[in-house]
Amino acid sequence: MANSSLPAVQAAGALVWRVVGRRLEVLLIHRPRYDDWSWPKGKVDGDGESLPMCAVREVKEETGISVLLGVPLPSVKYKLTDGRVKVCSYWAARPVSDECPAIAPRGRIKDASKHEVDESRWVEAKAARKLLTRSDDIEPLGALLDLWEDGLLDTWTVIVARHGRARSRSSWKGDEQTRPLTPVGEKQATAIVPILAAYGVEEVISSPWERCVATVAPYLDASGLDLMTAPQLTEHAAKKDKSGVRSFMGALLGARHRPTVVSTHRPVLPIILTCISARSPYRLSKAIPDRDPYLRTGELLVIHMARRSSGKSRLVALERQRGLEA
């Protein structure tokens, strides 16, 4: 029986996939200590590592392959020998070149020893069911196969960031456009760097106002990317003309795009969320934030989009991520 008085052990991993010809393949690892075949995964570091960063780090350590995360998959829970419950979060993931700008912010990742993992192997996805040692590991594989068969596995990611905590309007004597982040807000901006890196963000777009730019500045520094500003994302512009925000989001959500983060303000979020809702199936529409403040300061809304055979894009999955609690 699981010991409910102990906190769950958090872990993360990924089902790395590729297409060879018309065949879907996934990447498995063999662990000599247990003599089992499983997905690359491992426990989060104790220094506040996020689950997305844990997933890409573990894949790199155990397979030598850099990946970017896609759609979240079902998590797996099981009991450890000491009575604690271990919860492993999984994502679909695709290999990416080490030249991708999102790799540098992840830092140096050491390879796992041969005592931990002695082989990684690409396997036809349906055949992986028979090779997997633990029956629990079949659950995320089943979800991956469903996405593949529905034509929804090949997604692109748009991340909406609410800027970090800023100085209050009453305490700031300068212009609204120059109101800065607080020290807590600056820490929030730093904390989202590895999360953006895990999703492979290659394009950074922001309202030109200081607090939004400062929220993505640490990622820009770490990745070497250039900032693109979008004046239509400011509070004033969105209040004056909502169509500018709708047009902007329509372009990101309506066609395949590089992984992108958009840094904006709380008052702009309802317009953005309406654009997401218009491309969402009913079962996912209930997960779209619908109450003020919509997102907390420094929080990320991770949007996974895919194009159907009809040519129309639709929402496949939605996540909320935050690197630091304020």
Tell whether the model's pLDDT for residue 326 goes beyond 70: no
Tell whether the model's pLDDT for residue 288 goes beyond 70: yes
Tell me the pLDDT tens digit for each residue of 23-69.
Answer: 999 999 999 999 999 999 999 997 789 999 999 999 999 999 999 99
Measure CA of the first residue to CA of the last residue in the chain; give whole Å. Answer: 35
Angle of helix 269-277 relative to helix 242-254, nearest 10 degrees?
40
| Per-residue pLDDT at 48 | 86
pLDDT above 90 covers what percent of the chain?
A: 90
Strands 260-264 and 156-162: parallel
- Asked whether 298 and 323 are in contact (CB, 8 A), the reply is yes
| Per-residue pLDDT at 3 | 55
Helix spans in the chain (H):
51-63, 128-131, 138-149, 183-191, 193-198, 210-223, 235-240, 242-254, 269-277, 282-285
* Mean pLDDT (whole number) for 164-184: 95
DSSP strand E in the chain: where?
9-20, 23-31, 36-38, 41-43, 67-79, 85-95, 119-124, 156-162, 203-206, 227-229, 260-264, 299-307, 313-322
When pLDDT is cut at 50, 70 and 90, the band that residue 4 belongs to is low
pTM of the model: 0.95
Give the list of residues 6+ apart from residue 131 with CB closer than 8 angstroms, or none: 28, 37, 123
Average pLDDT, the chain: 95
Backbone φ, ψ for residue 221 (5° rounding): -65, -40
| Per-residue pLDDT at 244 | 97
| Per-residue pLDDT at 230 | 98
Which of 16, 173, 161 lies closest to 93, judged by CA? 16
| Per-residue pLDDT at 129 | 96
Collapsing DSSP states into helix, strand and coil, what is residue 73?
A: strand
When pLDDT is cut at 50, 70 and 90, the band that residue 127 belongs to is very high
Higher pLDDT, 81 or 175: 175
Q: What angle do CA 320, 90, 15 make, to 5 degrees?
A: 130
Chain centre distance of CA 44: 16
Distance separating alpha carbons of residues 287 and 269, to the nearest angstrom: 15
List strands edge to edge, sheet with 156-162: 227-229, 203-206, 260-264, 156-162, 299-307, 313-322
Tell whether the model's pLDDT for residue 325 goes beyond 80: no
